[in-house]
Structure 1
Amino acid sequence: MFTEKFTLDREYFRECFDESLPLSDRAKPKYSLLVFLIVLAVLSWVVVNNQYLASFLALMAVLEVIAFIYRKPWWVARQMISRAAGSLVVLHIDDEGIKAVNPYKQYQFLWHEIIQAQQTDKGIVLKTKRGMQYISQAAISKQAFDFILEKTKI
């Protein structure tokens, strides 16, 4: 019914991250992990009297904070060094579902597999049991985007 094409470039990856992050479980820091590492560091320092272990655990907590702060550039950089970066994605949207094909990966979401569809400012996030997939409104035609919204009943 609809065939759309777009390129997986840096701007697409940035938009994908920005639009899907609020809907993921990684939007907040891992507070329990941070508290756990700090408590272990203090216990290592005070009870075990091992300053090396305490320093290591404290540095792990600091590293976790840094990883949270720089999660977007890190994620985009990982996507940009992947084989799929710069490749052309062809979306086939029809009455059965959405099929995406590029030279390195292909996936298909049938309409009945989609658990939740959340429209964002710039696109739509589709959730299935296998994970989330973001489709940018700028990457497909208005008719195809409206068809997806109709099929997912937002």
Structure 2
Amino acid sequence: MKDTDTNSDYTCYYILNREYFSECFDQTANTTTSFKTYVLAIALATIACVLLISESETYIAWFLLCLSGVELLSIRYKRAWWITRQMISRAAGSKVNIRIDNEGISTQRGDHQQRMFWNDITEINYTEKGFVISHATGNHYLSKSCLDDGALALLNAKV
């Protein structure tokens, strides 16, 4: 939903629901799988096999083998696992108010507020459905679905 206060002050909101979390993951997650992705699972399985062959610590060996299996599952079901974790968080279902003005971008959800000043934003990357904003505190995703043309123009001008 959109509300426009002045020509350089835009407010909108979105709901933290499954659709938003899915869009956020799809637009920001690194889903490339390479050998580096599987290093931890391979290392755990190798250590487990060495312990099983030496017959010294079989309980630890089986634990490490199961842990490597869990790691493989987390790689395979990365998207579903991430979205499920977000859906069971306290933030799920909350309304987030966004304000974009000449000073920066501010978000408010309940009693949690965050402000990103334009000077502190290091990079804004465009994605198909939104923006990935790099800031000192990390990366933040902002969906285009709730932004009107004026807010998009202001974001484009600040890049």
Common fold: TM-score over 0.5? yes
Query: What are structure 2's unaligned runs of at least 5 residues?
Result: 1-8
Whole-angstrom distance in 2 between the partners of 1:7 and 1:126: 19
What is the Cα deviation at residue 134 of structure 1? 0.4
Q: CA deviation at 1:104?
A: 4.4
The one-letter code of the counterpart of 2:52 is W
- Off by >4 Å, runs of 4+ in structure 1: 26-29
1:63 matched to which residue of 2? 70
* 1:18 paired to 2:29: no
- Where in structure 2 are the equivalents of 1:8-87 lying within 5 Å? 8-22=16-30, 28=33, 30-87=37-94
* Residues 15-51 of structure 1 deviation map (CA, whole Å, 9 limit, x = unaligned): 01110103xxx75464331222122112212235333
Say which structure is richer in strand: 2
Identity of aligned residues (%): 34
The aligned counterpart of 2:3 is none
Extract unaligned runs of 5+ from structure 1.
Answer: none
> In structure 2, the residue corresponding to 1:133 is in which secondary structure?
strand
Number of aligned residues: 149
Task: Please say if residues 38 and 72 of structure 2, whose CA atoms lie closer than 8 Å, have aligned partners that are also in contact.
Answer: no
- TM-superposition CA deviations, 1:62-101 (whole Å, max 9, x none): 1001112222222212222222222221111111110000
C-alpha RMSD of matched pairs (Å): 1.8
In 1, Cα distance between the equivalents of 2:117 and 2:26?
25
Instruction: State the TM-score, normalizing by the size of structure 1.
Output: 0.86
Determine the structure 2 residue equivalent to 1:4: 12
